[in-house]
Amino acid sequence: MQKKRWIALTALRKVLTCAICSIALVALFSVHVPVFPSSKVPNFSDPFKLPTQHDIKYQKLSAEQSWTLELAPPHLLKAPLPSRKLDGSSGTVETDKLWKPPPNRDFVPCVEPSPNYTSPTESRGYLLVHTNGGLNQMRAGICDMVAVARIINATVVIPELDKRSFWKDSSNFSDVFDEDHFINALADDVKIITKLPNELATGTRAVKHFRSWSGMDYYQEEIASLWEEYEVIRAAKSDSRLANNNLPLDIQKLRCRACYEALRFAPQIEAMGKLLVDRMRSFGSYIALHLRFEEDMLAFSGCTQDLSPAEADELRIIRENTSYWKEKEIDPIERRSKGFCPLTPKEVGIFLSALGYPSNTPIYIAAGKIYGGDSHMAALRSRYPILMSKVWLMLMLDFLHFVE
């Protein structure tokens, strides 16, 4: 009886072995799938570690070239694709030239004052500044107001940041910028104080909307004349209030000193920024991409490319309900045809591919919350899967600190 069972078991093993071999052979000869489909994102074993340049292989050249055909105008479809120089040893696309710094065209920093530049004269009064717009807009406005204070012989009170705009950010100047450094760095240019003297805090002041893109004559004559009646002038807005051209060289240099030397981020922001940059640099060269595909930008501009009707309607309502946005009725097609709309994330991906950046290029998204989230980022992520944001990098840093 045992012998019969042994014979039956042996036969069953042989049948199973033959079946497994047959399945393996059929799979081997029938599968015809590229190792790395261009439309798929590879899975990485460690979700908290960015892949290195070797973790993701370059796409086949034909796949890269096919990207340039997507959404191309019909008259360009027949044009020959530009040839790419290949590394003979590895067959990878040469990308070194993409990371070379652009030529400076003999431009040099221009912040040092001229030999005849003098210390500020006696102040005639105080300039209160209410900044407006986003961070970059406020920063540029502060630099302009420093120059205006020099022109009209005013003492600058530390500017008030915009708290009423779309973002409803409650930050004060000292929360964002290094206040002491700002005051000391400009000590030879204008006098800066942290607040008005108590006796003037509740006094009458001249509130002015300075004329946009104004030159020296406007400030020396019309604005400076206000000192005859007021000790305090309040600039209701700061953006684009000073002309870019036809100003004395030392006024232009003062704007540059304010921007590039005096306006330094607060120490805690500098420290966090350094951590994020060091983390990105640890994975090699990367692109810092400022996508303007944010809710406020799209609502303000009226741009609706790649948006659903529901999303376009939501942005229209936001625009109508934002009182300080004057333009309400906007034709999105006309606006886009004039070049007044930001590129969509999908278009950015096409653009970077056309420039020759390989799909394993790390990209840091230097922007706020992208409108529509993942639904609008999917096309860009399919081309460039290594997309990082400050939030994700901070989570990674927290995780690594926890592990250590």
Is residue 328 classed as helix, strand or coil in its secondary structure? coil
Residue 153: predicted pLDDT: 97
C-alpha dihedral sign at 174, 178, 184, 188: negative
Task: Answer whether residue 14 is part of any domain.
Answer: no
201: CB partners within 8 A, 6+ apart = 195
Q: What pLDDT is attached to residue 22? A: 54
If phi > 0 it is left, if psi is from -120 to 50 it is alpha, else beta; for residue 284 that is: left
Mean pLDDT, the chain, as a whole number? 80
Indicate the DSSP class of residue 79. S
Residues near 350 by beta carbon (within 8 Å), at least 6 away in sequence: 67, 68, 70, 71, 383
**Residue that is last in its domain, among 215, 248, 265:** 265
Same domain for 163 and 255, yes or no, is yes
In a domain, 108, yes or no: no
Clarify whether residues 129 and 261 are in a common domain: yes
- Would the pLDDT of 270 be above 70? yes
Domain containing 363 equals 61-102+269-403
**How far is residue 39's CA from residue 29's CA, in Å, rounded to a whole number?**
24
Residue with the two structure tokens 């450094």: 181
User: Distance between CA 20 and CA 15 in Å, rounded?
Assistant: 9
Helical segments of 97-178, H only: 135-151, 173-176
- Shared domain for 80 and 129, answered yes or no, is no
194 and 209 share one domain:
yes
Those residues whose C-beta lies under 8 Å from the C-beta of residue 206, and which sit 6 or more positions away, are 226, 229, 230, 232, 233, 234
As for how many domains the chain has, the answer is 2
Residue-level pLDDT at 264 = 97
Q: Are residues 209 and 338 in the same domain?
A: no
- For residue range 370-396, what is the model confidence (pLDDT) as tens digits? 888 888 999 999 999 999 998 888 888
Last residue of a domain, one of 265, 296, 314: 265
Residues 318 and 396 in one domain: yes
Which of the four pLDDT bands, split at 50, 70 and 90, describes residue 288? very high
Domain boundary among 265, 299, 317: 265
pLDDT value for 133: 87
Dump pLDDT digits (tens) for 242-268.
999 999 999 999 999 999 999 999 999
For the segment 112-120, the average pLDDT, to the nearest whole number, is: 94
Tens digit of pLDDT for each residue in 5-30? Answer: 545 545 555 545 555 455 444 443 44
Q: What is the CATH number of the domain that holds 179?
A: 3.40.50.11340
Statement to judge: residues 224 and 142 lie in one domain:
yes
DSSP state of 323: T
C-alpha torsion 257→258→260→265, nearest 10: 150
353 and 307, same structural domain?
A: yes
Sheet holding 154-157, edge to edge: 192-193, 154-157, 125-129, 232-235, 206-208
Contacts 24+ apart (CB under 8 A), 225-229: 227/124, 227/125, 227/152
Q: Does residue 38 sit within a domain?
A: no
